Amino acid sequence: MAIPVVDTDYLKEIDKARRDLRSLISNRNCAPIMLRLAWHDAGTYCAKTNTGGPNGSIRNEEECAHGANNGLKKAVDWCEEVKSKHPKITYADLYQLAGVVAVEVTGGPNIDFVPGRKDSNVCPKEGRLPDASKGIEEVAVSIIVCCVFTVDNVSALSGPPHLRDIFYRMGLTDKDIVALSGAHTLGRAHSDRSGFDGPWTQEPLKFDNSYFVELLKGESEGLLQLPTDKALVEDPAFRPFVDLYAKDEDAFFRDYAASHKKLSELGFTPG
């Protein structure tokens, strides 16, 4: 598919789409699912093969039907309302713009958005997104694997290999893993979508550092902690970032904005 020409007209459409997304997301209180859509389109990226990534492919039935994407059809359809008003904009740009706007309208940091992503119809194979049930217990496997194979990241010797397998494949780091997990400050899990249930924080429509504050408190009645969330506290290389973000919201916002920008630009070289 063609690379969009990012000229003055395209930039104007991006501005208008940004305004439309702002009002749609505020009116329908759908920031969490829009952010999840942006993440699931981008999070399939494989740096080695330069496949997957923020390329709009999640709109295709085949990919949208992957188990990890349960519930996201609704967000795809809402974005379609904006796309029909601004057909020039690629789906790839639109979904990433929706993610950026979702963070902003809920009080999170401003995230630099650079347009020009190309759409793709090629769907990655199922299984590239993280599995929430895989926590720190995977450590034993990690150590065995590390003894057999050479690893180029020493921190992989300790801690959950699953999160690292997934995020290192995208070319992201331990700091990105922790900062981006802070997106769970928004929204909730739904038993009919993922099998998990409940919000991570008391105010799931407010983007702040409370996800980390709650993580450090341990389990609380009515709040959720996935095995992959708990792994951030238990893993010695992740833990310092959790401690920092829980006590310093500015540090979290700064690192989140940088990691989110990286996620939204995986495999994309702005023209």
Which active-site residues does the annotation give?
40
Among 14, 24, 39, 63, binds ligand HEM (CB under 6 A): 39
Q: Which residue is nearest to ligand HEM (CB)?
A: 187
Task: Please tell me whether residue 93 adopts helix, strand or coil conformation.
Answer: helix
Sites for ligand HEM among residues 96-135 (CB under 6 A): 130, 132
What is the closest distance, in whole angstroms, from the C-beta atom of residue 207 to ligand HEM in the complex?
9
Extract long-range pairs of 37-40: CB within 8 Å, 24+ residues apart: 37/72, 37/75, 37/76, 37/79, 37/95, 37/98, 37/99, 38/95, 38/96, 38/98, 38/99, 38/100, 38/102, 38/264, 39/99, 39/180, 39/183, 39/263, 40/68, 40/69, 40/72, 40/129
What is the closest distance, in whole angstroms, from the C-beta atom of residue 200 to ligand HEM in the complex?
8
For residues 58 and 69, give the distance between their C-alpha atoms in angstroms, rounded to a whole number: 9
186 belongs to the binding site for ligand HEM (CB under 6 A): yes
CA distances from 99 to 156, 186, 206, 213, 260 (A): 29, 12, 14, 23, 9
What is the closest distance, in whole angstroms, from the C-beta atom of residue 10 to ligand HEM in the complex?
25
For residues 35 and 251, give the distance between their C-alpha atoms in angstroms, rounded to a whole number: 21
* Both tokens assigned to 32: 């969490």
14 belongs to the binding site for ligand HEM (CB under 6 A): no
Sites for ligand HEM among residues 214-243 (CB under 6 A): 226, 228
180 belongs to the binding site for ligand HEM (CB under 6 A): yes
Among 96, 181, 209, 225, binds ligand HEM (CB under 6 A): 181
Partners of 46 in the β-ladder: 51
What is the closest distance, in whole angstroms, from the C-beta atom of residue 118 to ligand HEM in the complex?
21
Sites for ligand HEM among residues 60-99 (CB under 6 A): 71
Binding residues for ligand HEM, how many (CB under 6 A)?
23
169 belongs to the binding site for ligand HEM (CB under 6 A): no
205 belongs to the binding site for ligand HEM (CB under 6 A): no
* Both tokens assigned to 251: 């540090």
* Both tokens assigned to 135: 């926590």
According to the 3-state scheme, what is the secondary structure of 22-49?
HHHHHHHCCHHHHHHHHHHHHCCCECCC
36 belongs to the binding site for ligand HEM (CB under 6 A): yes
Task: Output b/e per residue, 50-73; b: 16+ Cβ within 10 A.
Answer: ebbbbbbbbbeeebbebebbeebe
246 belongs to the binding site for ligand HEM (CB under 6 A): no
Among 115, 160, 161, 187, binds ligand HEM (CB under 6 A): 187
Between 57 and 69, CB nearer to ligand HEM: 69
Between 88 and 194, CB nearer to ligand HEM: 194
For residues 270 and 228, give the distance between their C-alpha atoms in angstroms, rounded to a whole number: 32
264 belongs to the binding site for ligand HEM (CB under 6 A): no
Among 46, 143, 151, 189, binds ligand HEM (CB under 6 A): 189
The residues that touch ligand HEM, with contacts defined as CB under 6 A, are 32-33, 35-36, 39, 71, 130, 132, 163, 180-181, 183-184, 186-190, 193-194, 196, 226, 228
